[in-house]
């Protein structure tokens, strides 16, 4: 696969900070470059600003300080061919009144793509996540794992060059989660898409990523980043290997140190509250 640090810079954050209107400092001086073909995981305890950081990269909010470049340009220059961004949320966030196909097709409908082309793209995206048989169903008729697959298909339908995922598997059971993780890696290998993945699971971070970025709280900042130089495809056997255990240990120690350093006050709660009420 693409060697970490080798490809073109997809997103470059320099000195990025985020302070909410209520004064909560969610992020402090973030410097991070995400390169073409990388699978970067942001991992850290609750309230360390990983979701905030992902929202900044998605262009859904603006930094209070510093600057972010997408493909060395501004956010307004994204969205075209070669510069598309897909986003997968914590919950599936599907439209309950629309069929799976209509949900997956949404980004294309909003871009006014012809219906026939959009339907073909949606069918293709659904096939890639193994949901072709459920295309006519409504979200409420799907299981939690299937809903998340539909949500991923919706993010894939535009053939994104940068895929942002905000704890997408957090609410799923262990079996579904592991299957989706393997499926996601297969998709990533086949697609040549750059992924930024937020999680609080160290195992998930190590299993998926080419690089793990460890974040700490009060205020949110990057503590460390480590490459995971294990070859792909990674099978379930990797989860049981000594190399996996060693990497997980390393990340875990880093997170633990960050948690110990942090002051045990209510700052993370306030940061979370600010994010939700925004």
Partner 1 sequence: MRPDTRMSVLRFAAPLAVAVVVVAAWQILVSVNRIPPYIVPSPLLVAQTLYADRALLLNSLGVTLGIALAALALATLVGVATALIFVQSRWLEMSLFPYAILLQVTPIVSIAPLIIIWVRDTRTALVLCAVVVAIFPIISNTTLGLRSVDRGLLDLFRLSRASRWQTLWRLRVPSALPYFFGGLRIASGLALIGAVVAEFVAGTGGQGAGLAYQILLAGIQLNIPRLFAALVLIALAGIALFAATVGLSRVALSRWHESALDVES
Q: What is the binding site for partner 1 (CB under 8 A)?
A: 55, 58-60, 79, 85, 87, 89-91, 93, 95-98, 106-107, 109-111, 138-140, 154
Q: Work out how close the CB of 11 gets to partner 1 at its nearest, in angstroms, rounded to a whole number.
A: 14
- The answer to whether the CB of 195 falls within 8 A of the CB of 165 is yes
Q: Which residues contact 159 (CB under 8 A, 6 or more apart)?
A: 84, 191
Q: Work out how close the CB of 51 gets to partner 1 at its nearest, in angstroms, rounded to a whole number.
A: 11
Choose between 9 and 60: whose C-beta lies nearer to partner 1: 60
Q: What span, in angstroms and rounded, lies between the C-alpha atoms of 94 and 100?
A: 8
Choose between 110 and 190: whose C-beta lies nearer to partner 1: 110
Q: Work out how close the CB of 146 gets to partner 1 at its nearest, in angstroms, rounded to a whole number.
A: 16
Q: What span, in angstroms and rounded, lies between the C-alpha atoms of 65 and 269?
A: 23
Which among 71, 65, 47 has a CA at the least distance from the CA of 198? 47
- The answer to whether the CB of 62 falls within 8 A of the CB of 36 is no
Q: Work out how close the CB of 271 gets to partner 1 at its nearest, in angstroms, rounded to a whole number.
A: 17
According to DSSP, residue 129 is labeled T
Q: Work out how close the CB of 60 gets to partner 1 at its nearest, in angstroms, rounded to a whole number.
A: 5
Give Rg (Cα) of the chain.
18
The H or E element that residue 180 is part of is helix 174-191
Choose between 4 and 107: whose C-beta lies nearer to partner 1: 107
Q: Work out how close the CB of 107 gets to partner 1 at its nearest, in angstroms, rounded to a whole number.
A: 5
Q: What span, in angstroms and rounded, lies between the C-alpha atoms of 47 and 25?
A: 11
Choose between 97 and 266: whose C-beta lies nearer to partner 1: 97
Choose between 2 and 91: whose C-beta lies nearer to partner 1: 91
Choose between 34 and 102: whose C-beta lies nearer to partner 1: 102
Enumerate the H helices of 74-136 as residue ranges. 100-110, 115-128
């Amino acid at each position: 696969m693409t060697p970490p640090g080798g490809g073109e810079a997809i997103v470059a954050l320099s000195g990025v900070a985020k302070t909410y209107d209520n004064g909560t400092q969610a992020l402090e001086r973030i410097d991070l470059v995400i390169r073409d073909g990388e699978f970067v995981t942001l991992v850290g305890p609750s309230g360390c600003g990983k979701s905030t950081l992902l929202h900044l990269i998605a262009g859904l909010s603006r930094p209070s300080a510093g600057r972010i470049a997408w493909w060395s340009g501004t956010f307004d220059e994204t969205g075209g061919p070669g510069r598309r961004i897909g986003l997968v949320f914590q919950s599936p966030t599907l439209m309950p009144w629309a069929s799976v196909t209509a949900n997956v097709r949404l980004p294309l409908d909003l871009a006014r793509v012809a219906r026939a082309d959009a339907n073909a793209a949606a069918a293709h995206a659904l096939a890639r996540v193994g949901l072709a048989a459920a295309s006519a169903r409504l979200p409420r008729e799907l299981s939690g794992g299937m809903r998340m697959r539909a949500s991923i298909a919706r993010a894939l339908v535009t053939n994104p060059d940068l895929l942002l995922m905000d704890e997408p598997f957090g609410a799923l059971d262990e079996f579904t989660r592991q299957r989706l993780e393997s499926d996601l890696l297969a998709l990533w290998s086949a697609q040549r898409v750059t992924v930024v993945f937020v999680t609080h699971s160290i195992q998930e971070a190590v299993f998926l990523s080419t690089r793990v970025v460890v974040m700490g709280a009060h205020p949110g900042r990057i503590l460390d980043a480590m490459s995971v130089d294990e070859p792909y495809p990674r099978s379930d056997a990797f989860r049981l290997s000594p190399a996996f255990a060693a990497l997980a240990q390393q990340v875990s120690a880093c997170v633990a140190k960050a948690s110990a350093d942090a002051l045990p006050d209510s700052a993370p709660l306030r940061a979370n509250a600010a994010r939700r009420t925004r």
